A and B are shown apart, each in its own frame.
Chain A
Amino acid sequence: MNLKPATLSKIAEVIPHYPTKRSATLPLLHLVQEDLGFISPEAIEWVAAKLELQPINVYEVVTFYPMFRQKPIGRRHIKVCRTLSCALLGGYKTCAAFEQEFNTSTGIGEISPDGEVTIEFVECLASCGTAPVVMIDDELHEKVDGAKAKALSAEIKRAAAQRR
């Protein structure tokens, strides 16, 4: 396990927030995933050992919660809201626009051919008043119609081109 020193110090800080170590399972998984990009079998064992649990106790958590993933994703993570308020104002069109821009589908964990993005059609993001909404990594984008989806995609592609 090659966790960054900053991650290790955050892990050390968070465990004593709880009277039982097991409570730190979700926080540790978040920290590990932020650091490594996904949660590997090795990471599950490492977290289990750290919290004095059986690996199954951690594995069952990883498999339940939608935000934890066991495979790497694209460089950027695009989450389009699928639920009713967004759908009523075109959420499905927004999702299709992103899929078209990056030539990929919202199949679970699929990475676009250029490696730049993984698009996910997720359930309610709790910003129904500004539908349709999209989260790109940690940033919320509001009222994302087809045109705005294209503009956001162009930004991601521009950043990718600059990096190459």
Chain B
Amino acid sequence: MSAPAQRRIIFQHIDEPGYSNDLACYVKHGGYAVLKKAVTMKPEAIVDEVKQSGLRGRGGAGFPCGFKWTLLDKKSGKPIYLVVNADESEPGTFKDRYILHQDPHQLIEGIMITCFANNVKQAYIYIRGEFPHGARILEQAIAEARAANFCGPNLLGTSYSCEIYVHRGAGAYICGEETGLIESLEGKRPYPRIKPPYFPAVLGLYQCPTIVNNVETLCHVKYILDVGGDAYAKIGTPNNTGTRILCVSGHVQKPGYYEYEVGQITLGQLLNEVCGGPLPGRKFKAVIPGGSSAKVLKFGETFTLKNKDGTSRTLTVEDLPMDFDTLAACGTMGGSGGVIVMDDSTDMVAALANLNAFYAHESCGQCTPCREGSLWMKKITTRMVHDHARVEDGALLKNVADQIAGRTICAFGEACSWPTQSFIAKFGDEFKAYPETKKTAPPAGALELV
């Protein structure tokens, strides 16, 4: 079966010749018409449309967006904040970059609809420090939108007012974790908060009710209000609605970003047809399907999943539809949509060492299992690659990883242990054989990974 066509909703204008990131261009393409419609609606009706749509958050966890909004403590009398997570920091993910740089007004429209629907007092866009141009583009776009009354005081002549401010991060991955992000926005080290009691919907920014949504999610909100929740829910597959931007990187002929209806394209179609298959003379070996934290899949393995009618089906890696639920059932996750591909030239121990170096660098250091565990996993894998490897290293690594997940304040504990756990589970033989492997010279042209 050949790959379905892309369905570009969020990336409709990305890379379109002649499309610029200014207000005039956005309005010419129908921009802010949905916001004009939104302010004539009852806020609860907007929330209902989003709930109806089945939209799940695009940042990584896939939490239902409309439901997240209904958790907001609206009775506290405290102001409500919206924090836009534009910290895009999960390795393998690079979708928000293009929205922020090329189509910022799409995001601003989504933000203002969300603010109006939830009676938000103030919105902050937390953008990663490595996007200095993106921050300037956003500030310019906000100023333009404000001058045209698309945000700021008395939005479109209503009695509702809300400002948007851009807040730059400074290079810390943990700021992508929503409570770490909130701490950072408060001017502190981004140590994630313990939940309960600090659920952002109740005790978020400045201990007030707060929505934290991803950039792509807010763009979907705009589209949902445009077409209606029911129509949106028909896109994709049940419980995995809408489109998803899949970011493909690593060992494929045509890496890049592709937008598809959720679950309509399989991993095999994406990699072999859309991305042109492996590099010349190579075969696919492994793929991380949802950002670097997602558990790795090994080409050749199969998954037996239960159908609703009680029967079961067996799928290869190539057969897997790119949706939230199937990937979760296979023990990994759709996460942030970042697909990292490794071919048969890849030394899996070195690849894991690369990821472990990342997690050791990015652990915030608050919880001992994560701070120490991520560092030891890095030390062990780096030693295996650069010094000497022991037959028992795989078991040792698994032992360390198994003692992190579930014992930390935030999900970084899982994020840093899943790569090690899955690499050992799927490629354990390579780890066992590594002392022998190291005795022979690496193949010509082998790249250093750590």
Chain A interfacial positions (CB closer than 8 Å to B): 17-20, 22-27, 29-30, 51, 57, 60-61, 64-68, 79, 82-85, 87-90, 92-93, 122-131, 135, 138, 140
Q: Which residue of A lies closest to B448 (CB)?
A: A92
Stretch at the interface among B111-119, B166-174, B318-326: B166-174
Q: Which residues in chain B, 324-344, are within 8 Å of chain A measured between CB atoms?
A: 338, 340, 342
Q: A-facing mask of B169-202, CB < 8 A → 1, else 0?
A: 1111100000000001111111000000000000
Q: A-facing mask of B281-309, CB < 8 A → 1, else 0?
A: 00000000000100000000000000000
Q: Which residues in chain B, 89-143, are within 8 Å of chain A measured between CB atoms?
A: 89-94, 96-97, 128-133
Contact present for B354 and A128 (CB under 8 Å): no
* Bound form: Cα–Cα A19–B187 in Å: 12
In-complex Cβ contact of A61 among B97, B188, B247 (8 A): B188
User: Could you say which of A92, A93, A125, A128 has the most chain B C-beta atoms within 10 Å of its C-beta?
Assistant: A128
Task: Check: B250 CB closer than 8 A to any chain A CB.
Answer: yes
Distance in Å: Cβ of A22 to nearest Cβ of chain B: 4
Contact present for B257 and A129 (CB under 8 Å): yes
- Which residues from chain A contact B129 at a C-beta distance below 8 Å? 30, 65, 67
Contact present for B94 and A30 (CB under 8 Å): no
15 extra interface residue pairs, beta carbon distance < 8 Å, beyond A82-B358, A88-B340, A126-B93: A17-B165, A27-B168, A64-B172, A67-B130, A83-B292, A83-B354, A84-B449, A85-B92, A88-B447, A128-B93, A128-B247, A129-B94, A129-B249, A135-B130, A138-B132
Contact present for A61 and B171 (CB under 8 Å): no
In-complex Cβ contact of A23 among B169, B173, B186 (8 A): B186
Chain B interfacial positions (CB closer than 8 Å to A): 88-94, 96-97, 128-133, 163, 165, 167-173, 184-190, 206, 247-251, 255-257, 292, 338, 340, 342, 346, 351, 354-355, 357-358, 361-362, 364, 447-450
Closest 5 CB pairs of A and B: A25-B187, A128-B249, A65-B170, A66-B171, A85-B249
In-complex Cβ contact of B255 among A23, A124, A131, A135 (8 A): A131
Given contacts A29-B170, A126-B130, A131-B249, contact A87 B186 (CB under 8 A): no
Given contacts A17-B165, A27-B167, A85-B249, contact A124 B354 (CB under 8 A): no
Q: Which residue of A lies closest to B126 (CB)?
A: A26
Contact present for B190 and A64 (CB under 8 Å): yes
- Which residues from chain A contact B169 at a C-beta distance below 8 Å? 26, 65
Q: Which residue of A lies closest to B351 (CB)?
A: A84
* Bound form: Cα–Cα A26–B185 in Å: 8
Contact present for B447 and A130 (CB under 8 Å): no
- Which residues from chain B contact A127 at a C-beta distance below 8 Å? 94, 97
In-complex Cβ contact of B447 among A18, A23, A93, A140 (8 A): A93
* Bound form: Cα–Cα A89–B250 in Å: 7
Given contacts A92-B448, A129-B249, contact A84 B92 (CB under 8 A): yes
Contact present for B362 and A123 (CB under 8 Å): yes
* Bound form: Cα–Cα A68–B449 in Å: 26
Contact present for A30 and B358 (CB under 8 Å): no
Interchain residue pairs with CB less than 8 A apart (15):
A19-B206, A22-B187, A23-B186, A27-B168, A67-B130, A88-B346, A92-B449, A93-B447, A124-B90, A126-B128, A128-B249, A128-B250, A129-B248, A129-B255, A129-B257
- Which residues from chain A contact B448 at a C-beta distance below 8 Å? 87, 92-93
Contact present for A128 and B186 (CB under 8 Å): no
* Bound form: Cα–Cα A57–B187 in Å: 9
Contact present for A65 and B342 (CB under 8 Å): no
Contact present for B91 and A30 (CB under 8 Å): no
Contact present for B250 and A65 (CB under 8 Å): no
Contact present for B189 and A61 (CB under 8 Å): yes
- Which residues from chain A contact B340 at a C-beta distance below 8 Å? 84-85, 88, 128
Contact present for B91 and A128 (CB under 8 Å): yes
Given contacts A83-B91, A123-B361, A126-B88, contact A23 B249 (CB under 8 A): no
In-complex Cβ contact of B189 among A60, A82, A83, A93 (8 A): A60
In-complex Cβ contact of B170 among A26, A85, A88 (8 A): A26
Q: Which residue of A lies closest to B357 (CB)?
A: A82
Contact present for B354 and A84 (CB under 8 Å): yes
In-complex Cβ contact of A87 among B168, B338, B354 (8 A): B354
Given contacts A24-B187, A61-B188, contact A88 B167 (CB under 8 A): no
